Amino acid sequence: MYSFSTFVKDPNAKLDYGIDWSSWLRPGDSISASTWSVSGPDAALTTYDPAFTNTQTTVWLSGGTEDGTYLVTNHITTSAGREDDRTIEVRMEQR
């Protein structure tokens, strides 16, 4: 069974979220590309300023609709050609 992290975000907040891939990467391999996508009840949650290092990825999120739940997926490619995804759940709540 696959599980993912869940976060609570205020719709007005602009925050960064990251994934540490170091335990998944094989010795000598590193992240060479990273993309982010959002699925949810609407297009109100947006990604911006994505970044990555050899072992970690980061994206900033802004917006979102109160009481909405979004899935934010990070797809990486490694220098050895491996590809994989990790998804985080972001729930919108007024704080």
Q: Where do the structural domains in the chain lie, given as residue ranges?
A: 6-92
Question: Is the pTM above the cut of 0.85?
Answer: yes
State residue 4's pLDDT score.
74
Architecture of domain 6-92: Sandwich (2.60)
Give every CB contact of residue 12 below 8 A, 6+ residues apart in sequence.
Answer: none
Separation of alpha carbons 1 and 81, rounded Å? 25
45: DSSP letter? E
Low-confidence ranges of the chain (pLDDT < 50): 1
State residue 3's pLDDT score.
56
Residue located via tokens 């094989």? 26
61: nearest Cα among 75, 78, 74: 74
